[in-house]
Amino acid sequence: MNEYLEALKSRMGEEDYEKLAAIPDPEVHRFVAKAAELCDPKDIFICDDSPDDVAHIKHMAIASGEESAALATPGHTFHFDGYYDQGRDREATKFLVPKGDYLSPTLNQIDRDEGLKEILGLLRGAMRGRTMIVRFLVLGPANSVFTIPCMECTDSWYVAHSVSLLYRKGYDTFLQMTPGTEFFKTLHSQGKVDERKVSVEHEKRRIYIDYITNTVYSVNTQYAGNSVGFKKLALRLAIRKAHREGWLAEHFMIIGVRGPGGRKTYIAGAFPSGCGKTSTAMLPGETILADDIAYARNIDGVCRAVNAEAGILGILKDVNPKDDPLLYEVLTSPNEIIFSNVLVKDAKPWWLGMGCKLPESGINHSGEWYKGKIGPDGKEVPPAHENARYTISLRALPNCDPELDNPHGVELGAIMYGGRDYRAYVPVQQGFDWEHGIIAYGAALETETTFTIVEERGKYEINVMSIQDFLSIPLGQYIKNYLEFGRRLKKVPLVFGVNYFLRDLKTGEFLNERRDKHVWVKWMELRIHDDVGAIKSPTGLLPKYEDLAPLFKQVLNKEYAREDYIKQFTIRVPENLRKIERVKDFWAKVPDTPKEVIQVLEAQERRLLKTRERLGDYVPPEHFPEV
């Protein structure tokens, strides 16, 4: 028996002790022992993933008051986070950086010694009087080259219940682990809670990431993005691991797109929040493999990918029966679902944009709610929070892809990058090659925060590959890795840029309907298999009208006017040139920017200038050659 197990004996019952002792890695015992010594829980519950243990956690989430089952639909529960604990906290989320180490100055960071002293001080005694729950999980499918074991110690039954839906069980993996195996760790405490069982010391919320020991520390928060260590927090650790080992850990959704002859083609996509990621992942008639985080590896020269997770922590706002029929049906049917920060009235959850009139009273994250209520910050409280969420297992979705747990992953035919670009990029275009696509669409991914007729600086946010907030290596090195990853492949995925938000420059009206994205995705699938040609524009390869028109009819039963095609796919030279300037300015400030980034952007700039000389500022697609 090692010293750590000995220290834990008095803190847990015999059954829990035996479950922990069965794991052969002493580092697991050390982490649990140190967490218990620091946080001082009254007892420790070790979950071995048995149906009884998993059911006990769900029961305790309700019995503790962290969740409520007072909803009419079987399997539905709801949870409220504190008034000031409604989203990822960028300010309080920091990397612990040892002296002499370097991270990009754009990343939130704190000296490791100073940060550890602070966070361990906040965690000291934080679990007193509560149970510490220990969960063992895996990122990626089990028994796979993609597998990353991970564990979380938490005093929140809600957090422990959430991971049952979001991740694959990992206790058996830990039983088979040899000492020295790398794994990720999270120590979380909700801290002081009020009578509603929500964290109250939001000003002491801290989420610190120690990449030296692969540990996430989180305290005084319950919001899942801050407390479930294996969401974006562990993505930061996975990015470092991928950097060392030559693979990609990405903010990707993956969709299985059906093509002619019954084939299925997998396409990954990266989108900043609010740019169409979930609605693309949930396109009707296709399958969803991942909605948030994916790992991609070079397997025998082929790019293969897996979902790091097995569930969805999704945004509820604007999910309605018209725009998201499949998802809406799932959310209103009997399933194990945790709703968070919704309005509850008449034993039903309500959220913003659900396509019907909301009640004028009920309970929500602010407590008893009524229309016109003013919150403690002096602002009117909406019926439900804008960031209200649902937590559900992917396997509960009828469109869940059957390859979800394939240990070999799936072959990626393409990667798409999409932002909110009101002025410049066309709705869909293909990169000339890996390098051009990765740089012109991924490294230049841009989201515009407002639309005005007069263009203003400062209204654009560049979010490289939609992963900038989570990077734990220098940005220049990250892009270099990406470019090299593609060069090592024998079979390289195509790269597409999509933009669902192009507007008419005069009227400001959108030039696409929300459902049109399905046609763009179907066109990508045909391009991957070389079933259709394309038009070579200065910014990428464009679809031909003759190929899009039948797709609109087939997919949406909609007539597609040539006039609409011309409006959507006209190359706007001035707006594209300004976009390149903004992106070049951004990369000029990034240390170690690979020379290819500037080369690709300047080559695109030259193509646009030549186009302007020959054809003017606004060039319809038929003026470009077919390839």
pLDDT in tens, 188-233: 999 999 999 999 999 999 999 999 999 999 999 999 999 998 888 8
Among 282, 396, 388, residue whose Cα is nearest residue 337 = 396
- HSE toward the beta carbon, residue 483, CA cutoff 13 A: 17
Domain boundaries, given as residue ranges, for the chain:
3-66+85-246, 250-310+405-622, 313-396
pLDDT band at 266 (very low <50, low <70, confident <90, very high): very high
The sign of the dihedral angle between the CA atoms of 271, 364, 325, 511 is negative
The sign of the dihedral angle between the CA atoms of 386, 392, 398, 402 is positive
Would you tell me how many other CB atoms lie within 10 Å of the CB of residue 309? 26
In a 3-state reduction of DSSP, which class is residue 381? coil
Q: What is the dihedral of CA 282, 287, 289, 293, to 10 degrees?
A: -20
| Residue 339 structure tokens | 């709703």
Rounded mean pLDDT of the chain?
95
Residue 44, beta-bridge partner list: 132
pLDDT at 455 over 70: no
Write the CB contacts of 59 (distance below 8 Å, at least 6 apart in sequence). Answer: none
pLDDT at 349 over 60: yes
Among 23, 338, 41, residue whose Cα is nearest residue 149 = 23
The span from the CA of 116 to the CA of 366, in Å, is: 33
pLDDT band at 458 (very low <50, low <70, confident <90, very high): low
Residue 281, beta-bridge partner list: none
Asked if 93 and 107 touch (Cβ cutoff 8 Å), the reply is no
The span from the CA of 351 to the CA of 383, in Å, is: 7
Among 268, 218, 253, residue whose Cα is nearest residue 115 = 218
CATH level 3 topology of 250-310+405-622: Phosphoenolpyruvate Carboxykinase; domain 3 (3.90.228)
Among 419, 456, 99, residue whose Cα is nearest residue 270 = 419
Burial class (CB in 10 A: 0-12, 13-18, 19+), 25: middle
The span from the CA of 224 to the CA of 13, in Å, is: 29
User: What mean pLDDT do residues 497-516 have?
Assistant: 95
Q: Would you state the pLDDT for residue 459?
A: 80
Q: What is the dihedral of CA 478, 480, 484, 487, to 10 degrees?
A: 120
Residue 369, beta-bridge partner list: 362
pLDDT at 281 over 90: yes
Q: What is the dihedral of CA 271, 275, 279, 283, to 10 degrees?
A: -70
Q: Would you state the pLDDT for residue 53?
A: 98
How many angstroms separate the most distant Cα atoms in the chain?
82
- Alpha-helix runs per DSSP H in 86-223: 112-123, 157-166, 171-175
pLDDT at 316 over 90: yes
The span from the CA of 508 to the CA of 345, in Å, is: 38
User: What mean pLDDT do residues 22-35 have?
Assistant: 97
Among 304, 325, 330, 309, residue whose Cα is nearest residue 415 = 304
The active-site residue, picked from 275, 303, 356, 400, is 275
pLDDT at 1 over 90: no
The span from the CA of 347 to the CA of 362, in Å, is: 10
pLDDT at 407 over 60: yes
| Residue 617 structure tokens | 């500022």
Q: Would you state the pLDDT for residue 206?
A: 97
Q: Would you state the pLDDT for residue 568?
A: 98
Class of domain 313-396: mainly beta
CATH level 3 topology of 3-66+85-246: Phosphoenolpyruvate Carboxykinase; domain 1 (3.40.449)
Residue with tokens 């669409």: 441
Asked if 342 and 316 touch (Cβ cutoff 8 Å), the reply is yes
Q: Which residue has the higher pLDDT, 370 or 470?
A: 370
- Give the pairing of strands 337-340 and 389-393: antiparallel
The pTM of the full predicted model, rounded to 2 decimals, is 0.95
pLDDT band at 453 (very low <50, low <70, confident <90, very high): very low
Helix (H) or strand (E) holding 81: none
Strands (E), 178-293: 184-189, 206-210, 215-219, 248-250, 253-258, 264-270, 287-290
pLDDT band at 2 (very low <50, low <70, confident <90, very high): confident
pLDDT at 45 over 80: yes
Backbone angles phi, psi at 137, to 5 degrees: -140, 170
Catalytic: 303? no
pLDDT at 457 over 70: no
Asked if 277 and 133 touch (Cβ cutoff 8 Å), the reply is no
Asked if 133 and 59 touch (Cβ cutoff 8 Å), the reply is no
Write the CB contacts of 50 (distance below 8 Å, at least 6 apart in sequence). Answer: none
In a 3-state reduction of DSSP, which class is residue 140? coil
The sign of the dihedral angle between the CA atoms of 168, 169, 170, 176 is negative
pLDDT band at 450 (very low <50, low <70, confident <90, very high): low
